[in-house]
Structure 1
């Protein structure tokens, strides 16, 4: 069965690229539950197709490097498009659904005394790098639809936050999908949870950029075993403070998020 899907993958990739995959301009990397095909143009990575297969299922993710953006589509989801752009050398990732922006995730410089207005802010730690982002959503765009796999791709695609040019970002995407477990990290929850970034902050701000609600760990002691201070906010006030290691804070954070959803 796997060999059959491999043949289908090659045929599908040929259709997407529109050329012979035997050319030296193409490179295939076999990964768990799929294959990644990269096309190079003048020595530079030009496009990526990730073929996925499972029992009675096949799909493709298509990544195209365009002039001022990286465009990502899911062959099984014609309504969704993900775009990655740069704004003041900061990454901006937008989920478009039926041509309307539904989710915008923008990298920011985190200063707790000078935060973006009317937004959600998250901070996380992965591979010893902290990612600070603001998130604005318009979930009404989706109606009753649930493009689950594209959601997982949008939020789960791991790109180094310090990259500030599209070529490097595109290469980073290619590197991610060359990893043996790339698809597992995105689409298989029990596996992805083990490798998920460590949560540091979830905050909501008002029209003045003041924290209204949320939780944040003041991650100053970068040794994961050391203790840092944390605060929990409600209605613009700190309602609880404490100290915790990074590992202990994960449980505090999860409990807080669960209570928000009740």
Structure 2
């Protein structure tokens, strides 16, 4: 009798142990499945690696191996992972697709641009930013940014504005403004920005050397002091009819926001443009110039022709008013008191021309 009870009790213990083992196996198998799963996608085709279906393996809820679509929307990019590390990004050129009429309903996106990741960042290729009403794409070659462009979308409207550095010059063009372009470069340590129509110069803006004896010729010049730093900028306008404002509004918006007077060199202009677009910041609406030094028109030799200018030599500080290259008024004055004189002169000058 005792042996029978012992036998039944022992069998019960073995049975319970087997149940526990089976439950643990089932739990581990379920956990493994939850930690690792495959997602399939057939909404795109990678031109260099065509497949009917692309697979991406997730491990612990994160992309681990294969192809992963960035977002489930009309325009997207696809990342390729190996062992949990981003290796490549595949994308499209929107302008090229529009030109090829490839945005019809049900059409698979043909991803034909391959970009290379290094340390989690685009090293060579295209880096995409999705902004309000636009897509901005930075272009890289071996870790160096060589250009960027943004595509703007609206009802029955599309435009691309491209920024590219070639041979120490920034080139800016717009799809909507055919025949127009902007060039930004350095000459004699000064930054120049120029707007062209069919290779004919329309407008030039440049910062100036305030210590030079001559100014840019036939220019509208402003000199000012801000944060205790004296700067100057000169404008040359050959577009007397304002044709560029009518025909190239998109490029003129960019041209008028070039902060060359705040930039160290042409690459700094490039970086400021990109930063302002990504952060959607505009040039502040506060007065641009804190303390005015001068505003005048220069003649063909670079001398002051018409306008007003404050001077400060070792003995005195004074201002002069010029008319037709002649000094018509001169008085001693401090820089602070000159501000009232300056703005009264400007107000009268422009009211007389109305």
The partner residue of 2:206 within 88, 93, 106 is 106
- Number of aligned positions between the proteins: 240
Number of the residue aligned with 1:209: 302
The partner residue of 2:289 within 193, 198, 202 is 198
Q: How far apart in 2 are the matches of 1:149 and 1:73?
A: 9
User: What TM-score comes out, normalization by structure 1 length?
Assistant: 0.69
Residue 65 of structure 1 pairs with residue 165 of structure 2: yes
Q: How far apart in 1 are the matches of 2:241 and 2:329?
A: 34
Q: How far apart in 2 are the matches of 1:16 and 1:160?
A: 36
Q: Are the equivalent residues in 1 in contact too, given 2:182–2:195 (CA < 8 A)?
A: yes
Structure 1 window deviating more from structure 2 (155-164 vs 243-252): it is: 243-252
Number of the residue aligned with 2:141: 41
**Higher Cα radius of gyration:** 2
Q: How far apart in 2 are the matches of 1:126 and 1:178?
A: 26
SS in 2 for 1:237: strand
Q: CA deviation at 1:72?
A: 0.2
Q: How far apart in 1 are the matches of 2:131 and 2:352?
A: 38
Structure 1 window deviating more from structure 2 (203-212 vs 9-18): it is: 9-18
Q: Deviations over 1:57-79 (max 9, x none)?
A: 43221101111311001221002
Residue 163 of structure 1 pairs with residue 257 of structure 2: no
Q: How far apart in 1 are the matches of 2:352 and 2:96?
A: 43
Residue 75 of structure 1 pairs with residue 165 of structure 2: no
Number of the residue aligned with 2:64: none
Tell me the C-alpha RMSD between the 2 structures. Answer: 4.2
SS in 1 for 2:255: helix
Change (3 A) 1:107 1:145: closer
Number of the residue aligned with 1:150: 251
Q: Deviations over 1:78-125 (max 9, x none)?
A: 021000121122211111012211112232201485434433222356
Number of the residue aligned with 2:350: 258
Number of the residue aligned with 2:323: 234
Q: CA deviation at 1:51?
A: 2.9
Change (3 A) 1:255 1:40: same
Q: How far apart in 2 are the matches of 1:156 and 1:253?
A: 27
Q: Are the equivalent residues in 1 in contact too, given 2:244–2:252 (CA < 8 A)?
A: no
- Please list, as runs of the form range in 1=range in 2, the aligned pairs for 1:13-32 lying within 5 A after superposition: 13-15=93-95, 19-20=113-114, 24=122, 25-32=125-132
SS in 1 for 2:278: coil
Structure 1: gaps of 5 or more residues: 1-5, 186-191, 220-227
Number of the residue aligned with 2:103: none
Q: How far apart in 2 are the matches of 1:208 and 1:82?
A: 26
Structure 1 window deviating more from structure 2 (209-218 vs 73-82): it is: 209-218
Q: Are the equivalent residues in 1 in contact too, given 2:207–2:233 (CA < 8 A)?
A: yes
Query: Larger relative contact order (C-alpha < 8 A, sep ≥ 6)?
Result: 1
